[in-house]
Each structure stands twice: as C-alpha cells, then as structure tokens.
Structure 1
Amino acid sequence: MPFKHLKKAFQLTAVASLVSLLAACSGGTSGGPAAAQADAAANSGSGSSVSPEGRVVLDYWTWWGSETRRPIIEKLVDDFNKSQDKIFVKHSYYPYSDIFTKELAAVSAGNPPDIMMNDINTVQQRASKNQAMNLSKYVERDKVQDRFFPELWNTVLYNGEPYALPFNTDTRMMFYNKDDFKEAGLDPDKFPDTWDELEQAAQKLDKKHGNTYTRIGYSPQFNSDWNLLQLNFDGGRNFFDESGKPVVNAPAKAEALQYILDNAKRLGQKNIDAFKADFGSQQANPFLSGRVSIWTDVTNFYTQIRDYGDGINFGVAPLPETKEGAGHWSVGGGFVIEIPYGAKHPDEAWEFLKYMTDVEAQTYWAEKNFDNVANKEASNSSELMSNPVYKASVENLAHTKLTPNPLNAPDYMNLINPQRDAIMLGQTSIQDGLNKAQADVEKLVSGK
C-alpha cells in the first residue's frame, strides 16, 4: 500500500481498537466482580498483598498515562488477570519525571513495587547496586532468552546474568517528502546513500523568499544530535571501544562535528535556530508542515505523520553512510521490564514478565503503539510487516546500536556535552574541545 494511503487504513484500525477498548471497559472495573474486589483490596491501603478471593496482588509501575498508551498497557494487564486466577496485577501510573526517583526510594526503604518498567541502557547500574533482581533461575528454567534480539538481550546482562527482560526498542531513520524531491529534480524513490550526497540533495531542496528560508532541506540539528552522527561516522562505535577505553576524540567523531558545522555555516545558524524555535506540537512539526524536507526520528514518528500529516507523500530510509560499505549505522533505546530488588512476590512477578514479553502481548503492543518490540517473533508478524514503515524499522534494527552507560562512568555525557556546545558556539576548535572531553572522561573512568 502506498505511504500516502496508509492514513485512512490506520484510522479505521484505530476506530476499531477504540470500540474494542470501550466494550472491554463497559462493565465498570475490568475483570468482573472478583477482579473488582481484588482491585479494591490492592488500593485499600491495608498493606495486604492477598485479595479476598486468594489472589496475590502485584503492583506494576509505569509512566504510561497518555490517552494513547495507558488504555493499551491496562488492556494487557486486564488480559493477564483474566488468563488465570492466582495473580492480580494492578497498574500504577506515576509521571516520567518522578517515577525513577520514587522507585529507588522505595527499593532503599525495602518496600519496592513488584514490577517496574525501566530504561534499557541503565540495567547494569541497577544490577550493580542491588536495585534489580537477578533473574537467572527463572530464565534458565523457562528458556526465554531466545525470544529476544541478541542486541537487546545483551543490555540486560550484568556479569553474564540477566536482571530484566527486554520489552521494546526503537531505531532512528530518515523520513523524507517525496513531493519535495520531485519538485527539486531528485528521484523520490532513491534516498541519498552517503552524507555528502545528502548535503547536495539538501541544497536543492532549500527554498528562500529573499534572504529568508521558507523550507530547509535538511539540518542534522533538527531532532537529531551529534550522538547519532558520531556513532554513524565511526562505524557504529559509541564513545567507548570494546575494551571500555574512551574514544571521544577519535577522528570520526571530529568528522561528524565538522559535517554539522559545515551544514550550519551554509544555512546560517540563525536560520536553523529560527526554525527550531517553531518546533512544538505535532501539528507544528516542521516536517509535517512542509518546512523541512528530510527529518530524522524514531520510526514511530510514522504515527504523527499518519494522524497529523494531512496526506504527506513520504518515504523512509536508513541513515546514510560516510562512504560505500561503511554502514548505515543508527542508534536505539528502549525499555525493560524487571523485578525490583526486595520485591515480596518474585515468583508471581516473573509470570507477568513472561506474559508481557511473549508473542501475543508483544504483538498487541507493537500493533497499537507502532513500537519496535523485543520479541523477535512478534516483531516479524505478518500483519506488522505488511506496513512498509514497520518493515523498514525491523530491517533497520540490524544496523542499530544500543549504548548502555558504562558502569565506571555512568555520567560521562555530562563531560562531553559542554565541550560539544563550546565547539558549536565557536568558543573552541573541534580538536581542542574533543581532546578536553577525552581527558575529562579518562579522568572519570580512572577515578582520579
């Protein structure tokens, strides 16, 4: 199905999903009278962890409170509660800005939630500080490791043992306006292969009225950052090599920054900043409003195009390479589901972790949220893969690197970012700034 016709199909799907959700909720508290009693007990403040009908009540914390995601997560919780009569899971929502601090305080106080959704890149930090439970005995018993993409599974290991299960991930790709490409004399079905080709195409896509840009073809400062380009330019390597040595001032990092500076010099930093000042709601997004032709984002940006793009004829492509064969490397993030250290009912919590990462729940999450999920089979379901954007995102995972924070330098970006900013402001040279950042990170790693 052509991209510009996908909006209507997905709107129909969304309506059907809404009707289904409303039907599921029409009886009051989901799960029937027994579940209502369990929910009341769980919220009573009595401290009891057993519902009146004998179920073990588990408290599951997430920050998913939006109109889109909260009904989806609660539908999955409801399905789990209906699937058996031993465990009742209660979903507790806390704002993203508060939930992680609140969880750490609860763990320290010995009264953690039973289940927690958490950041994929910081599992090792929590494992090393006894903030997450070692899941080895459960994983070995139930053989769940093969469910997951290897890159994601590696993020949950500390000293070779798992402390969480991967839940979802993402990948950055290039969205581009095919009609703008046609207008500029570019092939709308062929996205530039290299960064140099991209810059050449961007110049053709730029439009001016006098000295004012009415459309900018591309800027790496739009919804992207140096972290993405530096990894792409450096063959998929982040700021540390395989041995854990900092490589902040590697030549490829300097080349990535030079590319950003050259683009800014051509367009004018004031023009870039003026466009960025207008970024805001989905409707004001410069790609959706036709003011930017090429936009880098996670692939569920597609849902914004679908809902607010007013029929944009768009394409999606991997990030360019520095040269042929260098690799279309991208960056990903995501979340894991884990049992906080000290949770009172780990056996029951594990059953919920298994359910949330199995094929059915993962497929439902992917279909409704358009997220890349951790379960390989769910990710490759025929219905999902029939959408060309989702199919492209799954294929892009093969070129996507996650960047877990190193244990001996979890806050290293606080040392790199000021030097990057000074370079962008012209306060220091690229090499001097990177050398200073390299020295600062080395000092942090050494502990001196």
Structure 2
Amino acid sequence: MHPLHPLHPLRPPAPEPTDCAPEARAGSLTSHPVPDEAIGDLLDQIAEQLGSPVPAHLQAALRAVPRHLFLPPTLWLRDGNGGHEPCDRESDPDRWWRAAYRDAPLVTQFTESPDGHRAPSSSASMPSVVVRMLRALSAEAGHSVLEIGTGTGFNAALLAFLCGADNVTSLDVDPELTRRAQRVLKASGQQPDVVCADGAGGWPPNAPYDRIIATCSVRTVPLPWLEQTVTGGLLVIPWDTPWCNFGTLIATKQADGTAEGSLAPYGSFMLLRAQQIDAELRAVIPREREGQEPERSTTGLSPWSVAGDDLDAQMYIGLRVPGVWHVWDTEVDEAHTRLLLADGRTSSWACVDYDGQRTTRFAVSQYGDRKLWDEVTRAYEEYVAAGRPGVHRHRLRLIPDGRSTRLEVSVPA
C-alpha cells in the first residue's frame, strides 16, 4: 500500500525550498500484454527495486498467481494533483493493464463517511513490498500462517501457493471485500480459509501459527497476535506512528511470551481498522483560536528536517514523541508554508512557519500542556547525536501488558 496515511491529507508534503520532487517511474508496458509477458516485466521491475533477482520460489508463486486476476474492474490511480481518478478496465483497458503489472500500489476501494469525507479504505500492495514481506516471513510448505487484511486476496493466494491452502487463514473486517476475495480465490485455484472478522483479535480456531503477517499497519501489536504465535514463530507487521507511516517490524516470538525484532525500511500501509481514531481521521487543522495565547519563538531547525524526505528521522521522532501528528499547509495567509503539529488526545498544537525567503530561521507558535515543537526538536537532536540511525537500526521488544502489548525501543550502538 502506498503511503496514504489516513491521518494526513492526500497530498505530498510541501517541497523544501530549492528542492523539486522526483518524477514517478513510468511503467514499461505500452499495450495489452499477455500474462506471461506482463509477469516477466513485473519481475524485472521488482528485481530492480530489490537490487537482486526475485527468489525462485517467489517467482514461481507470482507466475502461478497472476496479479490482474485479483484486481477489481475499476482502479483508482494517482491524478498528479494529490488525489485519485478512476481507471476502468472496459473503457480504458490499456491503462488498466499497465497499472495491473506495474510495481506500484493501487487503490481499489474508497469509503465515504457520514460527513462526506472520502478516503482510500483498501488497496493492492506494491508488488516489490509484497515480495520483501514474503521473503522476510520465510514461509514454507506446512507452515501455519495467519494473514491480517485479505484485501484483494492476492497475498493470501501467494501464501496458499507457498504453504498449502489448508495452512493459511486470512482475515478481513470488510464483508464486501471478504466475499469478493473468496470468489476470486476460488476462481484462481487457491482456496485458503478466508474469514470476515476483526483482525485485531487474530483467529483462535486455527491457532497457533508459525507465521503471522499483516497487510495493514499497527501502532500497538494486538496481544492476540503475540499469544497465537508459536515460540520461535515470526511476525511481519507494518509499523505506524502518528508522525510517520513507514517501516515493517520483523519479530521472533520468544519463550517468555515476548517478541523481539527490528524494523525493515519499507512498507507504508493503511492503519488497522480497530486502531483508527476518528478524532485524527477527521482531524481539524489546528489554528489559533480566540482566547488562546500560544507561546511564540523562533527556531533554526528546518521543518523539512523533521517532516521532509528523511524517513529515518521521521521514524526516530515518531517512536519517541508519542501521539503527535503533522500536516503541511500551504494555504494560510500568515506564511508561505506552515508545518502544523497536534496531539489528537489533548488540545496541544504547534506550528512552524516558513516566510518564503529565509531558510535559516522559522517562526514557532506552541499552545497547550505539551510543547510539541520542543519535543520534536529534542528527538531530532537525539537522532543527530546518535549518528542518524537508519530505520533498520531500531530494535523493538513487544511485551504482554494486561490486555495489550507494551513497546520497548532501543538503537544499539
């Protein structure tokens, strides 16, 4: 899934002064391909992303489970303006086929809330990320696997090919998606056990599992996932913080009931439905209101340093400044570009303004019990002092804690 963070506007961050956004890689398919040609082209694209050939067993799985079989007639593609536009297989088959076999995520469903807000609610993951996660999962024939988030059914079909359909359980909370996946999987010849259920609870009837993989991100690993994994089993779970939606946890279940592992520098998925917070999903951009008296100051730390292209910095901040999210705003009268910060659980907010000219000093306003920009600044200073550790340097330990899990984070020297 593309980094369509449900808590942030569906538009890219404001570009840093003097920088320009790179163009997306164009697909190489130009007309209707036959499946073998299309899959071969896709394997080449994935190998380019991996920097090495796709492992033979995963090549076999991708050839046995053609991606286009699992895609709906209408896909939602990026429109170049931060939004999406429909692409219909019947009216624009060439474009639909190019999208189907391009190494890119595809939005397959939008959901509209009662207040009229539309947001992506399901997507087909980027194939190279699918391969990375399956490679990390190390699932083999006979392994019992639980997948959280059936979606289109494509990943469940790959798992069924690798492990045997009788060993794979896939959960999705959306009844419509579940029914469609069941039909498509049957037609494809792969029939894992697909259940409509809240993935946060795992699936006790088929537990325990040698492997658990999620195609949605989490901020807290649900306790049932830990409890339903065998000792020595692997969990491959996309990670999310309100600040940064990036990275995948690869953890091993320990004999004491904990799990330990590290983050891999890939993966940006929609949040597990049970962990989506309405207050943040409908987030009102924080602004100074009557009666509020924010503290005003200046900073030499560029907002692009903490909320720009440096995902290592963003992950470091996200793991150490809990509950704080950010948005870029280029439509305010007071500044050329503004970075807004807010804590969805309190009334605390902050903003950092770029005046369109000076890149060495920025105006800061902070309001509430938490001084959010100060917290972010301290976290960034720690990040720099630690040698700017990459996402992969973080070690995470999951500890059962009552009805949930507690997280310990470290960056080994």
Q: What is the TM-score of this pair, normalised by structure 1?
A: 0.27
Instruction: Kindly indicate whether structure 1 or structure 2 has the higher relative contact order, using CA contacts under 8 Å at least 6 residues apart.
Output: 1
Q: In proportion to residue count, which structure has more strand?
A: 2
Q: In proportion to residue count, which structure has more helix?
A: 1
Q: What is the TM-score of this pair, normalised by structure 2?
A: 0.28
Larger radius of gyration: 1
